[in-house]
Amino acid sequence: MSQDTLIPQVVEAIHAVTGGAPAVLHEPSFSGSEWDFVKDCLDTGWVSSIGRYVDRFESDLASFTGSRHVIATVNGTAALHVCLLLAGVKQDDEVLMPTLTFVATANAVHYCNAIPHFVDSSMVSLGVDPEKLTEYLADIVTPSSEGPRNRHTGRLLRALVAMHVFGHPVDLDPLAEICAKYGIVLIEDAAESLGSSYKGRHTGLHGRLASLSFNGNKIITTGGGGAVLTQDAELARRAKHLTTTARLAHRWSFVHDEVGYNYRMPNINAALGCAQLERLPILLNTKRQLAQRYAQAFSSIQGVSFFNQPDYACSNYWLNAILLDRADTNWRDAVLEATNDAGFMTRPAWTLMHRLPMHAACSSMNLDVAEQLEARLVNMPSSAKLGERQEVVHA
Ligand SMILES: *Cc1c(COP(=O)(O)O)cnc(C)c1O
């Protein structure tokens, strides 16, 4: 297999699936009640942090995901920040997280003055590899009265943030087991996995806390927005309190009992979210159809494979991905060049977190698999509207 034979076939496959018109990586779709609900906010003046759409969005999300508690926030990074605070992450603690993630996962840890500690990924899920993590922790953890410590740095290992990469659920059961064994708090960064389930249960319900994102490129959007999920009533109360400036309820007084945050989702954003949630089942359906068409189009091409959801999961296929057989960034970049030249917005995976300058001093395990994935992975146009086409066009 040479580059010269592979690359035209990749372009052709994307062309066949998308219909050939220029296609961006992921764009939002507003074809429901979005205009009506947002107009209602403007007409009534309820545009800011208080209003009935925020409450409705939270309860609609709770019904959709099955989460007992949902707290809407200004964005996914803020939601993750609150999750980490409520997990007890403190200054100089270490937080385990995949190196293959969006920078927001690491940023939220820095906001707590804590230190990311990078772990490797699995070829099956693209997320944290439970087996490799088990072996690694057996090697580096030393118990202490305050909790598990990294024996190399002496710092407490407070939490693990598991991220569901491109919507594909990470293998949560073994991760929950490891965390329980050591007394490490499991947090799910479910920013990309709204609508994805693990063994029949929605993602974001397995960790003590989880965060969602409704940024413009996510499966549904509120413009900017996020949410904290938890099954624990006390954590939910704390999340609501921290995200609303820690103000004590009273008819007129402004008394705040700790340093809080202005992280509450505005009503106008929640209005958009309520309309988007109504259409989420349809969006999920079309996105899964699109994934199926990609899988079919790439099945006969040598030198590349379409990334399929793990067997235990039902994925939202937020971003479709192919893996080149060869781990060679020159090949990957040639594919990126040719597909972008043809009008298809393809993208590499994120630059791995351990390579970024602010993480130069952070601990990490061997990151072989994530480094392979970084060199081999290409994301393809994945907007829901591309899935609406029924017929597969054969070249
Ligand atoms: C989008 C995203 C976030 C952050 O969400 P924002 O709403 O953009 O702050 C966090 N983690 C991951 C993995 C994401 O993809």
Please tell me the distance between residue 217's alpha carbon and the centre of ligand 1 in angstroms: 10
For ligand 1, whether the C-beta of 75 sits within 6 Å is yes
Q: How far apart are CA 124 and CA 106, in angstroms?
A: 23
Structure tokens of 92? 């100089």
Please tell me the distance between residue 26's alpha carbon and the centre of ligand 1 in angstroms: 14
Identify the pLDDT of residue 3. 82
Please tell me the distance between residue 66's alpha carbon and the centre of ligand 1 in angstroms: 21
Sign of CA dihedral 12, 17, 19, 23: negative
Please tell me the distance between residue 79's alpha carbon and the centre of ligand 1 in angstroms: 9
The number of the ligand 1 atom at minimal distance from the alpha carbon of 224 is 7
Q: What are phi and psi of 205, to 5 degrees?
A: -105, -5
Please tell me the distance between residue 149's alpha carbon and the centre of ligand 1 in angstroms: 28
Mean pLDDT per block of 10 residues along the chain (395 residues) reads 89 95 94 96 91 96 98 98 98 98 98 98 98 98 97 98 98 98 98 98 98 97 98 98 96 96 98 98 96 97 97 98 96 97 97 98 98 98 87 50
Q: Give burial (CB, 10 Å; 0-12/13-18/19+) of 147.
A: middle
Identify the pLDDT of residue 211. 98
The model carries a pTM of 0.96
Q: Which of 84, 102, 110, 350 to mutate to test the pocket of ligand 1 (most atoms within 8 A of CB)?
A: 102
The number of the ligand 1 atom at minimal distance from the alpha carbon of 104 is 10
Identify the pLDDT of residue 334. 97
Sign of CA dihedral 152, 158, 164, 170: positive
131: left (phi over 0), alpha (psi -120 to 50) or beta: alpha
| Strand pairing category for 313-314 and 197-198 | antiparallel
* DSSP symbol at 193: -
Identify the pLDDT of residue 395. 45
Please tell me the distance between residue 391's alpha carbon and the centre of ligand 1 in angstroms: 33
Q: Which of 101, 213, 347 to mutate to test the pocket of ligand 1 (most atoms within 8 A of CB)?
A: 213
Q: How far apart are CA 156 and CA 175, in angstroms?
A: 18
The number of the ligand 1 atom at minimal distance from the alpha carbon of 75 is 7
Sign of CA dihedral 160, 121, 123, 297: positive
| Strand pairing category for 185-189 and 157-163 | parallel
The number of the ligand 1 atom at minimal distance from the alpha carbon of 225 is 7
Q: How far from the centroid of its chain's Cα atoms is residue 136's Cα?
A: 24
Structure tokens of 196? 């994805």
